[in-house]
Amino acid sequence: MKKNLVILFGALAVFFGAYSGLTIYDTYFKYGRMWQTPAVRPHETPLLVMEPGVVPVSGGEAHYRAAASLALQSPFDSRSPETIAQGQTLYFTYCQQCHGARHDGQGTVGQSFAPLPPDLRSARVQAISDGVMFKEISFGVDRPGARQPALATTIFPDDRWKIVHYVKSLGVR
Ligand code: HEC
Protein backbone atom coordinates (compact mmCIF):
# COMPACT_ATOMS: atom_id res chain seq x y z
CA MET A 1 0.00 0.00 0.00
CA LYS A 2 2.73 2.41 1.11
CA LYS A 3 4.77 1.35 -1.90
CA ASN A 4 1.89 2.21 -4.26
CA LEU A 5 1.57 5.69 -2.73
CA VAL A 6 5.28 6.30 -3.16
CA ILE A 7 5.02 5.29 -6.83
CA LEU A 8 1.97 7.55 -7.33
CA PHE A 9 3.60 10.61 -5.75
CA GLY A 10 6.81 9.86 -7.62
CA ALA A 11 4.93 9.78 -10.94
CA LEU A 12 3.07 13.02 -10.11
CA ALA A 13 6.31 14.74 -9.15
CA VAL A 14 7.94 13.69 -12.44
CA PHE A 15 4.89 14.85 -14.42
CA PHE A 16 4.57 18.29 -12.82
CA GLY A 17 8.33 18.72 -12.83
CA ALA A 18 8.47 18.11 -16.57
CA TYR A 19 5.42 20.30 -17.13
CA SER A 20 6.79 23.30 -15.22
CA GLY A 21 10.18 22.78 -16.85
CA LEU A 22 8.59 23.04 -20.30
CA THR A 23 6.48 26.05 -19.30
CA ILE A 24 9.49 27.93 -17.94
CA TYR A 25 11.45 27.01 -21.05
CA ASP A 26 8.66 28.31 -23.33
CA THR A 27 8.15 31.49 -21.35
CA TYR A 28 11.70 32.62 -20.65
CA PHE A 29 13.96 31.16 -23.31
CA LYS A 30 13.86 32.92 -26.65
CA TYR A 31 14.92 29.97 -28.75
CA GLY A 32 13.27 26.79 -29.85
CA ARG A 33 9.56 25.99 -30.06
CA MET A 34 7.06 28.78 -30.67
CA TRP A 35 9.49 31.67 -30.34
CA GLN A 36 10.62 31.19 -33.89
CA THR A 37 7.18 31.86 -35.37
CA PRO A 38 6.64 35.52 -36.27
CA ALA A 39 3.97 36.82 -33.96
CA VAL A 40 1.31 38.86 -35.73
CA ARG A 41 -0.12 41.54 -33.50
CA PRO A 42 -3.09 43.51 -34.79
CA HIS A 43 -2.52 47.20 -35.47
CA GLU A 44 1.20 46.79 -34.90
CA THR A 45 2.31 48.23 -38.23
CA PRO A 46 1.07 51.62 -39.36
CA LEU A 47 -1.52 51.55 -42.16
CA LEU A 48 -0.05 51.97 -45.62
CA VAL A 49 -0.69 55.36 -47.07
CA MET A 50 -2.34 54.95 -50.47
CA GLU A 51 -0.73 56.52 -53.49
CA PRO A 52 -2.95 59.14 -55.12
CA GLY A 53 -4.88 57.69 -58.06
CA VAL A 54 -5.04 54.13 -56.73
CA VAL A 55 -8.80 54.25 -56.06
CA PRO A 56 -10.80 55.40 -59.07
CA VAL A 57 -13.28 58.11 -58.24
CA SER A 58 -14.68 58.74 -61.72
CA GLY A 59 -15.63 56.67 -64.76
CA GLY A 60 -15.84 52.89 -64.46
CA GLU A 61 -18.57 50.32 -64.82
CA ALA A 62 -21.12 52.06 -62.56
CA HIS A 63 -21.06 54.98 -64.97
CA TYR A 64 -22.01 52.75 -67.90
CA ARG A 65 -24.73 51.06 -65.89
CA ALA A 66 -26.29 54.35 -64.79
CA ALA A 67 -26.03 56.13 -68.12
CA ALA A 68 -28.95 56.11 -70.53
CA SER A 69 -28.16 53.90 -73.55
CA LEU A 70 -28.48 56.86 -75.88
CA ALA A 71 -25.92 58.83 -73.92
CA LEU A 72 -23.30 56.11 -74.30
CA GLN A 73 -20.80 57.00 -76.97
CA SER A 74 -18.31 54.56 -78.42
CA PRO A 75 -14.72 55.82 -78.31
CA PHE A 76 -14.15 54.20 -81.73
CA ASP A 77 -15.08 54.94 -85.30
CA SER A 78 -17.74 52.30 -85.94
CA ARG A 79 -16.72 51.94 -89.60
CA SER A 80 -12.96 51.61 -89.11
CA PRO A 81 -11.87 48.27 -90.64
CA GLU A 82 -9.26 47.90 -87.91
CA THR A 83 -11.85 48.21 -85.11
CA ILE A 84 -14.17 45.79 -86.90
CA ALA A 85 -11.37 43.26 -87.38
CA GLN A 86 -10.54 43.44 -83.67
CA GLY A 87 -14.24 43.08 -82.87
CA GLN A 88 -14.36 39.96 -85.02
CA THR A 89 -11.54 38.32 -83.06
CA LEU A 90 -13.29 39.25 -79.81
CA TYR A 91 -16.62 37.93 -81.10
CA PHE A 92 -15.04 34.54 -81.72
CA THR A 93 -13.64 34.55 -78.19
CA TYR A 94 -16.69 35.70 -76.25
CA CYS A 95 -19.86 35.23 -78.28
CA GLN A 96 -19.39 32.49 -80.83
CA GLN A 97 -20.01 29.60 -78.43
CA CYS A 98 -23.61 30.77 -78.06
CA HIS A 99 -24.34 32.88 -81.13
CA GLY A 100 -22.52 30.64 -83.57
CA ALA A 101 -19.69 30.99 -86.06
CA ARG A 102 -22.22 32.25 -88.62
CA HIS A 103 -23.91 34.61 -86.11
CA ASP A 104 -27.17 32.69 -86.60
CA GLY A 105 -27.71 31.70 -82.97
CA GLN A 106 -26.62 28.09 -83.62
CA GLY A 107 -23.63 28.05 -81.22
CA THR A 108 -23.24 24.80 -79.30
CA VAL A 109 -23.53 26.32 -75.83
CA GLY A 110 -26.44 28.55 -76.84
CA GLN A 111 -28.65 25.56 -77.61
CA SER A 112 -29.23 24.91 -73.92
CA PHE A 113 -30.83 28.34 -73.43
CA ALA A 114 -34.49 29.25 -73.49
CA PRO A 115 -35.11 31.57 -75.24
CA LEU A 116 -32.45 30.55 -77.73
CA PRO A 117 -29.83 33.12 -78.79
CA PRO A 118 -31.25 35.10 -81.69
CA ASP A 119 -29.76 35.43 -85.15
CA LEU A 120 -27.51 38.48 -84.77
CA ARG A 121 -28.10 39.32 -88.42
CA SER A 122 -31.88 39.44 -88.07
CA ALA A 123 -33.54 42.77 -88.81
CA ARG A 124 -34.63 43.02 -85.17
CA VAL A 125 -31.14 42.63 -83.69
CA GLN A 126 -29.50 44.81 -86.36
CA ALA A 127 -31.99 47.57 -85.47
CA ILE A 128 -30.74 47.67 -81.85
CA SER A 129 -28.71 50.86 -81.34
CA ASP A 130 -25.01 50.67 -80.42
CA GLY A 131 -25.58 52.00 -76.90
CA VAL A 132 -28.41 49.56 -76.18
CA MET A 133 -26.40 46.61 -77.49
CA PHE A 134 -23.42 47.70 -75.41
CA LYS A 135 -25.61 47.68 -72.29
CA GLU A 136 -27.20 44.37 -73.24
CA ILE A 137 -23.91 42.51 -73.48
CA SER A 138 -22.60 44.33 -70.40
CA PHE A 139 -25.49 43.88 -68.00
CA GLY A 140 -27.94 41.53 -69.70
CA VAL A 141 -31.13 42.26 -71.57
CA ASP A 142 -33.66 44.34 -69.65
CA ARG A 143 -36.64 42.06 -70.26
CA PRO A 144 -38.23 39.49 -67.92
CA GLY A 145 -36.82 36.01 -68.58
CA ALA A 146 -34.10 37.33 -70.88
CA ARG A 147 -31.01 35.13 -70.97
CA GLN A 148 -28.17 37.15 -72.48
CA PRO A 149 -25.40 36.82 -69.86
CA ALA A 150 -24.00 40.02 -68.30
CA LEU A 151 -20.41 40.14 -69.51
CA ALA A 152 -19.28 43.40 -67.91
CA THR A 153 -16.89 41.59 -65.60
CA THR A 154 -15.58 39.40 -68.43
CA ILE A 155 -14.89 41.80 -71.30
CA PHE A 156 -13.14 45.19 -71.14
CA PRO A 157 -15.45 48.11 -72.05
CA ASP A 158 -13.39 49.04 -75.13
CA ASP A 159 -13.54 45.43 -76.31
CA ARG A 160 -17.32 45.44 -75.85
CA TRP A 161 -17.60 48.47 -78.12
CA LYS A 162 -15.47 46.75 -80.76
CA ILE A 163 -17.73 43.68 -80.63
CA VAL A 164 -20.81 45.88 -81.03
CA HIS A 165 -19.28 47.56 -84.10
CA TYR A 166 -18.40 44.17 -85.54
CA VAL A 167 -21.91 42.76 -85.00
CA LYS A 168 -23.52 45.87 -86.51
CA SER A 169 -21.12 45.75 -89.47
CA LEU A 170 -22.55 42.34 -90.45
CA GLY A 171 -25.83 43.89 -91.55
CA VAL A 172 -29.15 42.16 -92.13
CA ARG A 173 -28.82 38.71 -93.69
C1 HEC B 1 -23.77 31.94 -72.68
C2 HEC B 1 -24.39 32.20 -73.95
C3 HEC B 1 -24.25 33.57 -74.55
C4 HEC B 1 -23.12 34.30 -74.76
C5 HEC B 1 -21.70 33.96 -74.38
C6 HEC B 1 -23.54 35.50 -75.45
N7 HEC B 1 -24.88 35.49 -75.64
FE8 HEC B 1 -25.97 36.91 -76.58
N9 HEC B 1 -27.67 35.94 -76.11
C10 HEC B 1 -27.73 34.70 -75.52
C11 HEC B 1 -29.12 34.31 -75.37
C12 HEC B 1 -29.61 33.01 -74.77
C13 HEC B 1 -29.87 35.38 -75.89
C14 HEC B 1 -31.38 35.45 -75.95
C15 HEC B 1 -31.76 36.46 -74.91
C16 HEC B 1 -33.25 36.59 -74.75
O17 HEC B 1 -33.93 36.79 -75.74
O18 HEC B 1 -33.65 36.50 -73.62
C19 HEC B 1 -28.93 36.37 -76.36
C20 HEC B 1 -29.30 37.58 -76.93
C21 HEC B 1 -28.42 38.46 -77.51
C22 HEC B 1 -28.81 39.66 -78.24
C23 HEC B 1 -30.21 40.14 -78.51
C24 HEC B 1 -30.69 40.98 -77.38
C25 HEC B 1 -32.15 41.39 -77.56
O26 HEC B 1 -32.43 42.56 -77.29
O27 HEC B 1 -32.96 40.55 -77.91
C28 HEC B 1 -27.65 40.25 -78.65
C29 HEC B 1 -27.52 41.54 -79.45
C30 HEC B 1 -26.55 39.44 -78.17
N31 HEC B 1 -27.06 38.37 -77.48
C32 HEC B 1 -25.24 39.70 -78.40
C33 HEC B 1 -24.20 38.99 -77.84
C34 HEC B 1 -22.80 39.33 -78.01
C35 HEC B 1 -22.29 40.48 -78.87
C36 HEC B 1 -22.10 38.45 -77.28
C37 HEC B 1 -20.61 38.42 -77.07
C38 HEC B 1 -20.06 39.54 -76.37
C39 HEC B 1 -23.03 37.54 -76.66
N40 HEC B 1 -24.29 37.88 -77.02
C41 HEC B 1 -22.67 36.49 -75.84
C42 HEC B 1 -26.68 33.91 -75.10
C43 HEC B 1 -25.36 34.32 -75.10
**Chain segment 45-86, per-residue pLDDT in tens:** 788 888 888 887 877 888 899 989 888 999 999 999 999 999
Separation between Cα atoms, residue 11 and residue 5, nearest integer Å: 10
CA 76–ligand 1 middle distance (angstroms): 22
Q: What is the spatial distance between Cα 90 and Cα 85, in angstroms, rounded to a whole number?
A: 9
The pLDDT value given to residue 123 = 96
Specify the pLDDT at position 58.
78
What pLDDT is attached to residue 2? 87
Please indicate whether residue 90, judged by its CB atom, sits closer than 6 Å to ligand 1.
Answer: no
Angstrom distance (rounded) from CA 126 to CA 3:
101
Distance 14 CA to ligand 1 centre (A): 77
What pLDDT is stored for residue 36 in this prediction?
62
Query: Measured in angstroms, how far is the CA atom of residue 53 from the centroid of ligand 1?
Result: 35
pLDDT of residue 42: 80
CA of 127 to the centre of ligand 1 (A): 15
| pLDDT at 32 (0 to 100) | 62
* Ligand 1 within 6 A of CB of 136: yes
The contacts of residue 55 (CB under 8 Å, 6+ apart) are none
- Residue 108 CA: distances (Å) to CA of 8, 101, 113, 124: 78, 10, 10, 22
Enumerate residue ranges in the chain where pLDDT < 70. Answer: 30-38
- Within 8 A by CB and 6+ apart from 66, the residues are none
